[in-house]
Every structure is written in C-alpha cells, then in structure tokens.
Structure 1
Amino acid sequence: MMARSILIAAVIICESAVAQNAPPPKAERKAAQATPESGVHHVRSGSGVVAVDPKQPYRPIPANRVQARETIFEFYRKVLNPRQIKWGDQIDRRLAVLAEQSVGNPYFRLCALQMAFILVLLLTCWLWWDKMHQIKWLAAECLTDAINAKRIADHKALEAIGRYNRHIEMCNRVIENQQSGIATGDGSGDLQAELRKAETQLAAERAKVISLEAEIKNRDDIQKKLDARLEQLEKAMPERQGGANAELVARLQRAEAELSNRKTHRS
C-alpha cells in the first residue's frame, strides 16, 4: 500500500512537470496564427478551443476535432488509481480517526496502562524464574564438587590405610623374626622354610599325642567298667552259692593279677 502511494505521488509530480513544459495545443497555435481578415474568433472553452463566427455567435465551430493524446503518466495514474481517490486526504482522515479512538479515548488509555502493568509483572516473574534457575544450577554444581571431593578423599584415605596396614604388617614380621631368633635378610628364606616345616611336624605330633590320649582314656573307661563288673560278680557269687568256691576265687585272683599287670605296663 505504501509503495503504491509513493508510485502515485511520483506519477502526479512527473505529470505536472510535463504539463508545465509541454508546448501549446495545435488548436491554440492555429488560433494564434489566424488572421483577422477571416472574421472567425477562437475562444477557449473548457479544455479546448472553439471558433466563433460573428455572424452566428450561438453556433460555435469546433476548431480541432482531433482529441489530445493521452500521456504515459495519465495512463499509469488511471491504472493505479481508477477511482481517482485522493489518498492523502484518506490517510489524514484515517489518522485522525485512529488518534481519536486510541489516544483520545480514556478507556483505551486505561487498557494500555493495565496491559503495561501486566507486561511488567510478566517480565518480573520471568526474571525471578531465571534467577532461581541460575541459583539451582549453582547449587547443583556446588553439590557435585562436594561429592567429587568426598570420593577423592575416600579414595586417598583408603590408599593411606592400605599403606599403613602393610607397614604395620612388615613391622610385626620383623618383630616376630627378632623374637624367634631368625635373622632377617636374603638368607633367611631357607630358615623360615625349615621353621615352617618344623612347625608342621610339631602340629602333626601334637595331633598324634591327642589321638593317643583319647585312646588311653577310652581304655581307662573300659577298665573301670570291667573292674566295676568284677566287683559286682564278687559280691553276687557268695550270695548265690552260699559259700566260698575255691576255683572261682582263684580265677578272680588271676583276673585281678592280669589287670594289675596291664596297669603297670601302661603306666
């Protein structure tokens, strides 16, 4: 719309310039060149020139029946503005109506003020939200740094504890070797191997001793049971037979002698 208005204004300016510099029409030139002897006067009428005969003044004679040729600027003006609308007046009228209905209207001013207040509130809310978002990101970064620092500290602490435990273990080994009389060094490997072998043999002998002691204990239990049984038989025999039986007494004596011999051998 603006480009069309600019083009119309340019066409009008060019047309006015051409009209000022254009030569006079052919009819006017003929009227100027006409001699007074003819008795016909040329009079300008409207947009053209007519001839008037003094004898018939009420019947004008067309001086030039050929119409003026339309210029290119007139053609463009008719094409671009076929209704011959004065756009300058239209724009001024619409601007006046717009000013009257906008700035001059109190309701419009009130609505504009409310809209500005709402926009300010929205801008404030957005700025607050953006600030809180930045604070959350900073807090997350701080927490991440703290967690990473804790992991690094735990890893270093575990390494330090491992080194300390290995050092204490080596110190304990040195102390044990000094107490056992085994010298520490490169040649102590054979001695330590022999010591471990001797400890193994000692453990095996101790296991054998424990098994033998258990076996002896079982035999002692059996012996005690046999003694108790013999005593019961000795007490029961006189009651059954009503007197002493020499043969049974001899057997009992032999059994007691054998038991006493076994005890002496075991001890």
Structure 2
Amino acid sequence: MLRQFNPDDVDYGRWIERERRAFIDARIRNPYFMYSLCTSLGLLLAAVVGMKLWIDHRRAMWITAEIMADIYNQDAYSRRIAQEAIEKYNTHIELCNRAIEAAEHGGAASTTGSEIEQLRGELACVAGERDTATRERDLAREELRKKSEILAEMSIRLEALTNKSGAAGAPKPSSDLRGADAKLVSHINSLQEQLYTERNSNRRLRGG
C-alpha cells in the first residue's frame, strides 16, 4: 500500500544527505559565498544605521522648528504689547503736558477739577499698564532665554548626529546637518539682536 507513494523505491534520506553535502561544498566552503554573505550583512547593517540617523535628524529638526516658532511668536507678542503700552503712555503724557501748559499760562479756569482727576486717573492707569507690559516683557525675556538654552542643546545634539553620520560614512546627511546648524545659529543671532533692540527701546521708554 505504501509502495504507491514511492513506486521507484527512491532513498530520499540518502538523496537529502547528498544534496546537503553538495550545498556545503559549493556554498559554505566557498570563500566567495562567505564574502558575499558578510558584505550583504554589512550593507544591511549600514542601511539600518543610516535610516536610524536620518529619523533622529528629522525628529530633531521638527523639535527645533517648533521651538523656533514658539520663540518667534512670543517675541512678536511681547513687541506688540510693548508698542501698545508705549503708544498709550505717550498719548496720555502728551495730554498731561497740555493740561500743565494750560495751567501755567493761566488757562486753568477752562480745566475743571474733574478733568484733572480724570487725567491723573488715566496717567495712573497708563503707568499700571506700563508696569504690566514691563513684567510681561521680563517673562517673555526669561522664556526666550530658556528656549535659547534649549536651542543650544539641540545644536549640540545635531552636531553629535553629524559626527555619528560622518563616522558611519554618510557624507550627504552630514552636509545637510551642518547647513541646518548654520541656519539655526544664524536665526539665534537674529533673535538676540532683536532682543537687544527691544531692551534699548525699553530703556528709552523708562528714561521718558
């Protein structure tokens, strides 16, 4: 009954052993086969390492872009608040100066006590708004400093990734990382210059 499955009476065990020996002689004991196998494994490992570095670089650039966007938005907000406070302060100071000049030239009779009190109240309100804007500016400056430190840390991490990619033999990502570092440093310098300009404006405001 079992003969129908092997009508030619083939010894499959001997055939498998013969094919196994032939495979060992033709493949495993062949130095070219081992060289090709090692080369393939090395290329596969290099591809995995390169992909990992590329993913890390993309993630670092996304985080850096988000931090830079936050810094830019915070800087724009602080500038807008400071400019509004300066305009209100200058407007009310001008009104107060006109009232004082009118009083000095004998025009005090046209200005009632309620108007003077109103001007004083507006002046106090503007002074309070100026103090609030100053506090918000200080908070924005502190937040800007912290995010600048984070950007510096991200620059160090990007430089480390650049060195790793250079060691792995990937010159193109290395040049991209260096270009990204240069743009990042340039943007940080620009933000610092804007911060210095804002400080000078605030000093002039205090002097006024």
Identify the TM-score tier after normalising by the shorter chain.
0.3 to 0.5
Higher strand share: 1
Larger radius of gyration: 1
**Which structure has more RCO (C-alpha within 8 Å, separation ≥ 6)?**
2
The normalised TM-score by structure 2 is: 0.45
